[in-house]
Amino acid sequence: MWKRVHVVSPRIWSKDLQKTWSAWGYRLCSSAHPPASSNTPSTQSRTQAEKAKRRREKEKTILSSGFNDVGPVWSEKEKIKYTAALLPGEKKDTSLPFPQSYSPEYVEFGWYQWWEKEGFFSPEQHGKQPHATDKYFSFCIPPPNVTGNLHLGHALTVAIEDALARWRRMQGYKVLWVPGCDHAGIATQSVVERKLLREHGKLRQDYSRDEFLKEVWRWKNEKGDEIYHQLRKLGASLDWTRPCFTMDPGFSSAVTEAFVRLCDSGLIYRSEGLVNWSCALESAISDIEVDSKELSGKTLLSVPGYQQKVEFGTIVTFAYLLEGQEGEVAVSTTRPETMLGDLAIAVHPNDPRYQDLHGKYCRHPFTDRLLPIIADTMVDMKLGTGAVKVTPAHDHTDFLLSQRHALPRLTVIGGDGTMTSLCGQWLEGVKRFDARERVISALMERKLFRNKQSHPMSLPICRQLWWGHQIPAYRVTLQNSVDTEEELWVWGRTAAEARERAAVKFGVNPDHITLTQDPDVLDTWFSSALFPFAMLGWPQQKEDLKQFYPNSILETGSDLIFFWVARMVMLGKELTGQLPFKQRLQKKIKEGNLDPRESVVAMEAQEKDFPKGIPECGTDALRFALCSYKAQGDDISLSVSHVLSCRHFCNKMWQAVRFTLAALQEASSPASLAETHPVSSMDRWICSRLYSTVRQCEEAFESYELHTITSALHSFWVHSLCDVYLESIKPVLKQEASDSMEQKERERQVAMSVLYHSVSISLCLLSPFMPFLTEELWQRLLPYSADSIKNPTSLCVQPYPKTSQLEHWYFPEEEADFSLAQEVVRVARLLRAQCQMTKEKPDLWAVCAPDQAQTLLHFRSAICTLGRISKLRLHCPDGGFTDSPPPKGSVVGVVDHSIRLYLSVQTGFNADKQRALLCQRRAKLANKLKQAISRTHMPNYTEKVPDRVRQEMDNKIAAMEEDLKNIEDQLLDLEDMKILD
């Protein structure tokens, strides 16, 4: 159902790879607990060179594939200890030392086998969960072709669908997500045909149908499970007890049942019509099984059955002589051999060149047939000569013309691609492209050939099938019947049923009937259209069908709406009485294959950007990156750098949990979530930020806006939890307990509980997107949980966080006010950087209004910690705060256009150096300001630019003007200091 794209398949863990892992794993773990050695240098005596080396090794660990070097040699005891935890299907031992850096190979190994062994993805697991609800969620995977490897389009689909399945499962829904593969008739058969030709030098026609199908099944059984391995590698939480292949016996029975029912309803019937026919395969094929090759002009192509290449992309013009009068009508064609089947010449009724010829005749030069000249508006008078040869049996448009003008249809090319007896003895049995040259030569001899020109054209190309569901229709031959013209057909679920139907229909003895099954197979879209209900056991009314049909949602690409979705809708409604899914489509994604001409450019760009290859980023990073794009758009441009960024985000999470575990080891167990009530302003702020993040996830999941969820979670982890909260509570966690410090100890314990639950809940929120990493980290935090879990299992079956659990953590005022404190920290850091302060912790003055000072006082401790400030002094000219005014010579910054920050730089201050830096900033800022103002003076700026954009530009200009004013003030202060000196 998808076009195959060859990509490097994800690693499948072999025994050899497990051996490599058992040696490599120590490299990640040993840094925390190195082997005892008298030569091991202490942290205090470590040189700068050693520190730099460790940093390089750490970065290498993050970006390398993980198998480049082995690391220290283990003892046999250590080998047994580590490898015992990595046996397939066994739960990993997360009590082992925590590696210093994140590595996807380390994290991903082992978890999926354990999930599958425990049956967490089966709906039967639902009743065992305490948070189970009486709700169902089901949908089908768009079944990928069995022929080979998944590509990024599949990865995108799996990332989205698995996130939805895991989310609903964690919400307590009874979830069924069935794995499946499409037999991919064309693609699979062509793969096997090439294999047989390559290995045995045999064509498909050298085998009987049964023999060939045995070869296909043999290939499928050997190679067909590769996709299932890749789906597991992607972490797809599919129920592997219910795999569904479209050629399985049960599914094949459903296809037959559907066909028979549609025939019985009169929705499938036999009729005369023009079909796509493959002469090489001697089979009709559907329109969607025809690919078009665009030719710009004369092109030589290889054709099966011909030793020499055949010429395409040309158009031949020849003349038909008028009957009974002088003159001729010239016609053009890209297939001159079909002129033996011409039955008329068509012109446009308004074409002045031919108005006197309406109803006249031309004489066919080879068959002596009279060809009427007919008038029809279907003719394009501007194309070619304006006159069109009509060959009803060999052209779609001509077939329609024959119906409108009651023309007969003569087949002059047989099913095997040779000319029929209707062409005369000189062409009978000649292959069609050889006949083309003979026809042109004969036209030249009769002086009817006019010219041959290069001509752009679309060339239809096919591979048709023995591999697939053979149509359950049978041609009937009656004993002693004298009528051989009319074909008699019946259909049935089995040949026996078809025989009984034929006996009733034609009133004969069943023993006097000979049946021949239609050799054609149904195209794969027919069977895949049945997937949503056939995968649940239809037509039998099994329990799965009753519970999980219709599916809860359909998630697929826009390129499949016509081919797959439309058929699912029609057949689902007809055969089950219900639509196959309940909700509207939520995703439109185009999966396109790279044009061959662009491949060279792409390869050159890849070699330039990634000379050593694309780094291994892992499943979690790839899934998170894919889900972070707005998938409802027509297409996405996946950036490798974005996937790398998500890899770094994984390491950020890893380090945050590493910090949390270290803190937990030095404190008493955290209180339960319900008993954890934040005390400090920073505790209240992070709690409220988490509450708001959970609310964003709730709302966005319900509207299937996964990119909103990933953005919210990334922002919380990086910008709130790691960059702010962890840094702000480090001093709190380091303070030691004593009898005289009961309050500080209480703050420490509360901060520890808040940290634990913030990290734990955040991992739950991320679990649908990063199943491997979140499981690894959550399992390591689990021993510290105070929320009693009697039988702790897996994160993937834990309750998904809800705002109702965190209502006591919602503090909107702190959340809103802290934005001002964050801006003060940002400007303070900027001022420190300007003064090139690396180790100093200077004082900072904030000159502001009383209400602003009150807010900053609330977060004073965090501002000092995050901004690396010794002391924050608040000065209000209007009263309320009486800290002394800032000293002369301070570096000045502005926050929110109203708060002036003064950074004391008295110690070691270099006025000349500071003056040079300020002058440099002034010049750069003045240039930016000039450019911004010039944009506002563009013609029709007010009319063309939206109000929102203009307002943003006005704010930006005002901020730059304020910054320039501050720089000027600082330069004046420096001059005053110079005068005083």
Reported as a single tens digit per residue, the pLDDT across 100-118 is 888 898 899 889 999 999 9
562: closest CA among 539, 578, 585?
A: 585
Rounded CA separation 165/171 (Å): 10
Model confidence at 328: pLDDT above 70: yes
Look at residue 12 in the predicted model and tell me its pLDDT.
26
Q: Which of 280-284, 832-836, 879-883 has the lowest mean pLDDT?
A: 280-284
Residue ranges with strand state E in 803-861:
843-847
Look at residue 53 in the predicted model and tell me its pLDDT.
64
CA 901 vs. chain centroid, Å, equals 47
Q: What is the pTM of this model?
A: 0.69
245 band by pLDDT with thresholds 50, 70 and 90: confident
Look at residue 482 in the predicted model and tell me its pLDDT.
65
Q: Which of 18-27, 74-83, 308-317, 511-520 has the lowest mean pLDDT?
A: 18-27
Rounded CA separation 345/331 (Å): 8
751: closest CA among 683, 798, 673, 827?
A: 683
Token pair of 570, please?
């029609």
One-letter amino acid identity for 625? A
Rounded CA separation 813/688 (Å): 9
Q: Which of 69-78, 222-231, 563-572, 946-955 has the lowest mean pLDDT?
A: 69-78
Place of tokens 């000189």: 426
Rounded CA separation 593/614 (Å): 20
Model confidence at 333: pLDDT above 60: yes
Dihedral sign computed on CA atoms, order 446, 450, 454, 459: negative
Pairing of strands 370-375, 344-347: parallel
| DSSP letter (8 states) at residue 717 | I
SS3 551: strand
- Is residue 869 within 8 Å of residue 863, measured between CB atoms? yes
Q: What percent of the chain has pLDDT over 90?
A: 38
> What mean pLDDT, rounded, does the chain reach?
81
352 band by pLDDT with thresholds 50, 70 and 90: very high
CA distances from 521 to 184, 253, 283, 460 (A): 12, 14, 9, 20
**Segment 740-752 mean pLDDT:** 83
| Number of CB atoms found within 10 A of residue 204's CB | 21
CA distances from 622 to 271, 649, 946 (A): 50, 11, 36
634 band by pLDDT with thresholds 50, 70 and 90: low
Look at residue 11 in the predicted model and tell me its pLDDT.
26
70 band by pLDDT with thresholds 50, 70 and 90: very low
Look at residue 95 in the predicted model and tell me its pLDDT.
83
- pLDDT: is 11 or 262 the higher one? 262
Model confidence at 602: pLDDT above 70: no
- pLDDT: is 473 or 28 the higher one? 473
The DSSP annotation for 376-429 comes to -TTS-TTSTTSEEEE-TTS-HHHHHHHHHTT------B-TTSBB-GGG-TTTTT
Look at residue 117 in the predicted model and tell me its pLDDT.
92
CA geometry: angle 492, 494, 499, nearest 5 deg: 65
- pLDDT: is 884 or 595 the higher one? 884
- pLDDT: is 558 or 810 the higher one? 810
CA 580 vs. chain centroid, Å, equals 23
Over the stretch 582-593, which tens digit does the pLDDT of each residue have? 754 333 333 334
| DSSP letter (8 states) at residue 521 | B
Q: Which of 9-18, 46-55, 767-776 has the lowest mean pLDDT?
A: 9-18
Q: Which of 28-42, 443-457, 725-739, 834-848 has the lowest mean pLDDT?
A: 28-42
- Is residue 709 within 8 Å of residue 630, measured between CB atoms? no
Over the stretch 374-424, which tens digit does the pLDDT of each residue have? 999 999 988 889 999 999 988 888 999 999 999 998 999 988 889 999 999
Look at residue 289 in the predicted model and tell me its pLDDT.
65
Look at residue 555 in the predicted model and tell me its pLDDT.
78
Residue 520 has φ and ψ, to the nearest 5°, of -70, 160
498: closest CA among 517, 483, 484?
A: 517
- 516 burial class (0-12, 13-18, 19+ CB within 10 angstroms)? exposed
What residues pair up with 292 in beta bridges, in sequence order? 460
956 band by pLDDT with thresholds 50, 70 and 90: confident
Token pair of 356, please?
């006197």
